[in-house]
Structures are given as C-alpha cells and as structure tokens.
Amino acid sequence: MSELASDAKRLTISGMNKYYGAFHAVKDLNIEVEPGEFLVLLGPSGCGKSTALRMIAGLEEISSGSLTLGGRDLTDVLPKYRDIAMVFQSYALYPHKTVAENIGFPLKVAKVEKDLMERAVYEAASQVHMEGLLDRFPRQLSGGQRQRVALARAIIRRPACFLMDEPLSNLDAKLRGAMRAELKHMQKSLGVTTIYVTHDQIEAMTLAHRVAIMKDGILQQLGTPAQVYSDPANLFVAGFMGSPPMNFIEGVAGRGTLDLGDAQLPLSGVAEGTKVTLGFRPEDSQVMDAGSGRFDADVFTSEMTGDLTLVTLRRGETHMTIKMPKDYEAPSDDRAAIGFEAAQAYLFDTDTGARLDASLTEG
C-alpha cells in the first residue's frame, strides 16, 4: 500500500491568466497549494474554475503567469510530462479496454514490464475495491464503479498531483455521499496534493482542507471551510456558502442606525448614506412573535424537512428563510418577527459587495 504513496509536492499558481480572444476567463489567479493539501475550487458554472484546472493539467495554454509543482516550472510543459493525473467529470474511460487495461494504460504508455504492471493494476484496483471486476468493460459497470476505475487509473501512476473535475456530479445523491467519504479517506491515506473542482458547496465544505471560491474568473476568497462559512469576504461568498443560503436585506446607513425602511437597527462604523446589505444565516436566527424581534415580516410558507422546519418569511420583495426546530408551528395570524444576535449579523457594501468592517450594536 505504502508503495502507492508519493512524496507530496507543493503546487504554486502565480498570476495565472486565461484569455479566449477578448474574453478574460481567469483573472490573475494566485494560489499556493500545500503539499498533501486537498484544495477545492468552488464556484458557479462559467466562473473559470474548470479552465483553471485545465490550465494546471496542461490541456489549456496558460496565457500569462506561471505554475510550479514541487519547485519545477510547469508553465510550458506538455501534459504528459507534468506528473499530474486527472479524473474527468465523464470519467473518460476507454470503452474498448477492460477495467484492467484502463487502469494499466498509464503504465502501458510508460512501457512498464508486464508482470510489474499486472501487480500495480491489482494493487490500484484493490484500493478502490474493483479487483474483482478487472475483466469487465466500462459499459458493463455502474456509474459508481466507473468512477472507481477512473480513480484507480489516476492513482496507479503515483502522480505528484491529482486533479478532479466534478467527479461526483454524475452519480445519484446517495452514492455521491458514499463516494465523497471514500474520496476523502483515499486522499488522506495517499497524501497526494489534490485540486478538486465543484459547484456543490456541500462537497466543498466536506472535502476541502481549504476552499477557493471563484466568480467571473476572479478568486473571491481562499480559506478553510469554517473560515469561508463564518467569515465570508464578500456578498458573493456569503450567498454561495450554506444551504439554504444566507438571507439578505438591503438598507441605508443613517446616523448610528441601519435604515431598513420600516425598521431601524442600531449600527456603528459605517459612513452615513452608504448602501448596506444586512445578512444573517437561517440557523443563526429565530422566528418570534410580531413586534418582539428585529423587524416584522409576513409568514410565506413553512416546510417540515424531517430534522427541522424551514420557515420562509416575506418582507416586500425579499424572501428570508429561517431554520426552526422540527416541532415548530408558524403563528396563525401570518405576521411574525425575525430575531438574531448582533454578532451574527453580517454587513456588506451593497454597491461593491465587500464585507464592511462594522457591526450592529445591541441596543
């Protein structure tokens, strides 16, 4: 087993850009991936995360900037010399080759001796529990099994770095959860530096040592899952992490207050007249009796999900979701208030989206 482990290497992306003609797909990306780290690139589709991954793999040219792995400059190196293995979203198994031939392909290309190759194939297949199906063809496998073959093909080479492009998105929800846990376990035991692309924030939170959140080709925030969740750098990150996402209400800063129209909240540290967006997480707030919370709102719906009740309230055009205990019953008169601690409110500049260094005050 330990034979498969390779010396973990540091991957450094500095000032990486990608242009497609006039379109600027990835903008000045700087990330230092620690040896053995599991880094997740997270963002909505079209945010440049896959392009960034393909540039690391060498499948796309790096327009400008540099890439090093273990101190070796890879910027202009062909993919086959990069010592990087990639798992594709589609798995990209060779349909005319058996499982064993698929897993052994990187070694076949490297002209490894036959008996050595057979041993390595068996070992890699055992790691993903596929050693019993070596003679099958990909078409005879289930989605999860194909996924495992793709993983085995990636680990057999003992690469310095793994790249994974939404590897779980083609699996059904139940299998996805199981594979997620296995993936995390495998990465930990192999200790290989891994970059994983996904649009699923739960996957990112559960798998990553650190998460890099991207939008429109720009890195928004890089930090541990706990950091990006509890200390989002801007409006986008705050709204992207969490399910259901953070609730937002727009207002204007007055003299020591945040003016929400029908409610005034005590505020300090924001220049008067600044447009401010107030954010609070569904689990950090409660539905209270009308008039007793921070502000009032209409009860829109109440959904029991089993372990909790999701209450959606409406204030003008804005909908807000609050997580309440599973035995909660919404007030009958359809009018309620929302309450939360001042420390659990987030304040953003509405125009720039930046997090404001300010807070609500208890009052």
Partner 1 sequence: MTERTLYQRLFEPPRINQMAIGTKVVVYGLLLIWSAVVLFPIYWLLITSVKSAADVNGGPVYIPFVDFTPSLHAWRELFVVDYEDTLRAYFNSIIISLAATLLSTLIGSMAAYALARVKYAPNLVTVLIFAILMIITFVSIGIYGVDWRLVIASALAVFFFLMKAVSSRVKIPLKNGDILFWMISQRILAPIVVVVPIYMMFQTVRMLDTHLAIILTYAVVNLPIVVWLMYDFFTSIPRDLEESAQLDGATMFMTFREVVLPLSKAGLAATTLLVMILSWNEYLLALFLSTAKAQTMPILVAAMNAGERGILWWSMSAVIVVMIIPVVFMAVVLQRYISKGILLGAVKG
Q: Are 168 and 147 in contact (CB under 8 A)?
A: yes
> Is there binding between residue 93 and partner 1 (CB under 8 A)?
yes
The pair phi, psi for residue 238, each rounded to 5°, is -60, -40
Q: Which residue has the tokens 């194909």?
A: 146
d(CA 165, CA 199): 10
Report d(CA 282, CA 14) in Å as an integer. 37
Identify the DSSP state of 70: T
Closest distance to partner 1 from the beta carbon of 234 (Å): 34
Nearest distance in Å: CB 159, partner 1: 9
Residue 106 touches partner 1, criterion: CB under 8 A: yes
Q: Judged by CB under 8 A, does residue 167 bind partner 1? A: no
User: x/- site string to partner 1, residues 35 to 74, per CB under 8 A?
Assistant: ----------------------xxx---------------
Q: What is the DSSP string of 271-327?
A: -TT-EEEEEE-GGGEEEEETTSSSEEEEEEEEEE-SSEEEEEEEETTEEEEEEEETT
Applying CB under 8 A, does 225 fall inside the site for partner 1? Answer: no
- Residue 88 binds partner 1, judged by CB under 8 A: yes
Is residue 140 near partner 1 by the rule CB under 8 A?
yes
Task: Point out which span in 65-73, 81-89, 242-250, 291-299 binds partner 1 (CB under 8 A).
Answer: 81-89
Q: Which of 63, 224 has the CB closer to partner 1? A: 63
Judge whether 334 and 297 are in contact, CB under 8 Å.
no
Q: Can residue 129 be called a binding residue for partner 1 (CB under 8 A)?
A: no
**Residue length of the chain:** 363
Q: Does 304 bind partner 1 (CB under 8 A)?
A: no
Number of residues that bind partner 1 (CB under 8 A): 36
Contact between 316 and partner 1 per CB under 8 A: no
- Please, how many CA atoms are within 13 Å of residue 171, restricted to the half-sphere of its CB? 21
Out of 14, 75, 98, 170, name the contact with partner 1 by CB under 8 A: 170
- Is residue 30 within 8 A of residue 14, CB to CB? The reply is yes
Residues that bind partner 1 (CB under 8 A): 57-59, 78-80, 82, 84-86, 88-96, 105-106, 108-110, 137-143, 146, 153, 157, 170-171
